[in-house]
Amino acid sequence: MLILFLVFVNLIGREGIASDGEITLKEAIDIGLQRAKEWNVNATLSRINSVDETKGGSRGDTGKRFIWSMFFVVPGTDDFALIGISEKKITVFRPDKQSPDPTISYDEIKLDSSDVLQLAKDKYGLNPGKDWATGYHFTLDNIDGIPILTVFGNDRDSRFTRISFNAKNGDVVSAIHKLPYGGGLLSKRNGIENLTKKGMAIKGVFAGNNNLVVWGDKKPTQFSTTKQPFIEWSHNNGETWTELQATNYVIHAWFDMNDQLYAATEKELWAGITSKSKGTKIFSLDHPIENIDYSINNLIAVLSNGKVYYTTNQGESWGQAIVPKPFYVVQISDNGDLVGLTEERKILQKKNDGWNEITMPNSNEEPEDMKVINNRLFITTQSGIWTQDLQEGNWRKIKVDEVIVKLIKKGEKLFGITHRTEAIYAINTKDERKHEKMFDARDSIVWDMDIMGDTLWIATSPDYSWEDMPIPQRR
C-alpha cells in the first residue's frame, strides 16, 4: 500500500509539473521510451531534440517545450523508429531502416533540460532566441561516447548561441555563438575600396543625378534584417549622410528623372521623400509587396497576392491585372508594357486582356532572371544574356565570360551577378558587345549596386560564423 501511495503521489507531482502540456527533455524520453519498448524491447535512445512551434507557453524558459522529436534504435541492427511528441502525446511513430547510430544509456542522463538551462543562464547569461528557434531549445546526442546535452538561445548581444554540457556531470563541453563579419556599404573608385556603415545590412543603394540613397538595417542578426531599419541619403557622393523618415522597413527606393525620391515599404509606396518630410503615400495594399519595378519615365508596377498593380501617371490612378500563374518578377516598359517571369520560368507579356508567352531564343534554355529597360527585354540564361525589343521580338545575344544568375537594373544601367555573388559585371545595354567585370565579391554577400560618376557603390550584408565563447573554469 505504501509503495502504491508513493507512486500515485509521484504521478500527481509529475502531472502538476507538466499540466500545461509542456515537458522537459527527460519527461519526453520517458514517454517515448515506453512506446519504443512496445515496438522492440531492445529499443535504445539515439538522440532527441525540441521542435520550434507557435503554441505559446514558456517557450523553453523552464526547460520545457510542447513538441519533441526523438530517434530510437535497436542495437546490432539497422532498425530505428522516429517518435514525435506534442503536448505529452505521441503524434508520430515511424519505424524504418538506416545505418546504426550510437546510443545513449538512460542511466547516464543525470541532468535534464531544466538543469542545463539554469547553468547556461548562470554562466553565460543566455537569453531566449528570437526570429528563429524562438525561446530556448534543447538537444541530446551521443558525441564520442559522451551524452551531450545542448541548449540553444541568444547571447547578451542577441547572437545565436549554443552551449553544450556533459549530461553525466554538468561540465561545459563547448560554448559557441554566431558572430557577424563583413557587411556595410562598399565604394570602389580608381581601384581603391572603402567600407562605411560597417556591420550593417545594406539591402539597397540607388544613385540619382546628384543624390545617393541607401537602406537596410543598422543592427541585423543572423535571422533578421528588420531590427533597426533605416533609409539615408547623401548629397555629396557619400561623404555625409542624412537619415530620412521611414514609416516601416524599406524594401526598395529610387529617384525619378527629377531626383524625386520614391520608397516602397512592406505594403506602401511613398513619393517625394525629403530630409524634412516622409513624403506622400501614393499606394497601399492589404498584402505585402512581393516585387516592384519602375521604368525610365517612372511608370510603376507592383506585384502582390496574384495581381499586378500599375500606374502611368506617378500614382494618381492605378490599374490592375490578375496574373495567370505565380510571378517571380514583374517589369514595366517605358510604353507601359507589363512583363512577368513566372515561378516556372516562363516569360509572359500582357496583351489587352490576356497574357502571351514570349518564346525563348533556345527552347532548351530557361531564364534565370529578367529585366526591362526602356522598351527592351533582357534575360539571362546558362548560355549568356539575350535581349529583344518588345515590339519587334527579334533576339540578340550578349556573350559574357561567366554565367550570370541575377540581373540588377538602375535606370538605364544593367548589372549582372554570377553564382554565389562571386563577381559583378556591368552590361552595356546600348552596345551588346561591351561588358566589364566591375568587382570580385570574394566573401561579400552582395545585395545591390549602382554607379555614380566614377564610383561603384555595393550594398553588402554580414555573414556569420561560429566562434568560441570563453569556457569558465570549474570551481
The DSSP line for 258-304 is T--EEEEESSEEEEEE-SS---EEEEE-SS---EEEE-TT--EEEEE
In CATH, what number does 182-463 get?
2.130.10.10
SS3 222: coil
Per-residue pLDDT band at 247 (split at 50, 70, 90): low
Bridge partners for 254 per DSSP = 262
**394 or 369: which leads in pLDDT:** 369
Share above pLDDT 70 across residues of the chain, in percent, rounded to a whole number: 94
List pLDDT tens digits, range 258-293.
999 999 999 999 999 998 898 999 999 999 999 999
Q: Look at residue 432 in the predicted model and tell me its pLDDT.
A: 62
**Long-range CB contact pairs, 129-133, < 8 A, 24+:** 129/153, 129/154, 129/160, 130/154, 130/158, 130/221, 130/223, 130/224, 131/221, 131/223, 131/224, 132/52, 132/160, 132/222, 132/223, 133/52, 133/160
The phi and psi torsions of 417 (rounded to 5 degrees) equal -120, 135
Per-residue pLDDT band at 245 (split at 50, 70, 90): confident
In 3D, which of 199, 180, 201 has the Cα closest to residue 447? Answer: 201
Per-residue pLDDT band at 472 (split at 50, 70, 90): low
What sign results for the dihedral spanned by CA atoms 112, 24, 50, 121? negative
For the residues 81-91, what does the mean pLDDT come to? 95
Q: Mean pLDDT score of the chain, rounded to an integer? A: 90
Do residues 219 and 243 make contact, with C-beta atoms less than 8 angstroms apart? no
Cell numbers placing 127: 537569453
- HSE of 14, CA atoms in CB hemisphere, 13 A: 14
For the residues 295-319, what does the mean pLDDT come to? 96
Cell numbers placing 307: 495581381
Gap between the Cα atoms of 333 and 264, Å rounded: 19
From start to end of 10-63, where are the E strands?
A: 44-50
**321 or 475: which leads in pLDDT:** 321
Least confident among 28-32, 299-303, 359-363: 359-363
Q: Look at residue 475 in the predicted model and tell me its pLDDT.
A: 46
- Identity of the amino acid at 220: P
List pLDDT tens digits, range 432-444.
666 788 888 777 8
- HSE of 145, CA atoms in CB hemisphere, 13 A: 0
- 160 pLDDT more than 50: yes
Per-residue pLDDT band at 380 (split at 50, 70, 90): very high
Q: Look at residue 262 in the predicted model and tell me its pLDDT.
A: 96
Gap between the Cα atoms of 110 and 97, Å rounded: 30
Question: CA–CA distance from 307 to each of 237, 266, 303, 349, 425 (Å)?
Answer: 38, 16, 6, 14, 32
For the residues 130-140, what does the mean pLDDT come to? 92
- 50 pLDDT more than 70: yes
Cell numbers placing 101: 547510430
Gap between the Cα atoms of 435 and 416, Å rounded: 10
Gap between the Cα atoms of 45 and 141, Å rounded: 9
- HSE of 345, CA atoms in CB hemisphere, 13 A: 12
Question: CA–CA distance from 43 to each of 14, 30, 50, 223, 462 (Å)?
Answer: 24, 13, 20, 37, 45
- At residue 13's C-alpha, the angle toward residues 171 and 116, to 5°, is 15
Q: How many CB atoms lie within 10 A of CB 73?
A: 24
Least confident among 139-143, 325-329, 422-426: 422-426
In 3D, which of 319, 409, 326 has the Cα closest to residue 371? Answer: 409
Gap between the Cα atoms of 142 and 111, Å rounded: 14
Gap between the Cα atoms of 266 and 280, Å rounded: 16
Do residues 457 and 205 make contact, with C-beta atoms less than 8 angstroms apart? yes
Share above pLDDT 90 across residues of the chain, in percent, rounded to a whole number: 73
From start to end of 34-78, where are the E strands?
A: 44-50, 67-73
- 11 pLDDT more than 50: no
What sign results for the dihedral spanned by CA atoms 312, 315, 316, 319? positive
Ranges of each domain in the chain: 20-179, 182-463
Per-residue pLDDT band at 17 (split at 50, 70, 90): very low
Gap between the Cα atoms of 396 and 299, Å rounded: 26
DSSP-H helix ranges across 80-182: 113-124
Burial class (CB in 10 A: 0-12, 13-18, 19+), 248: middle
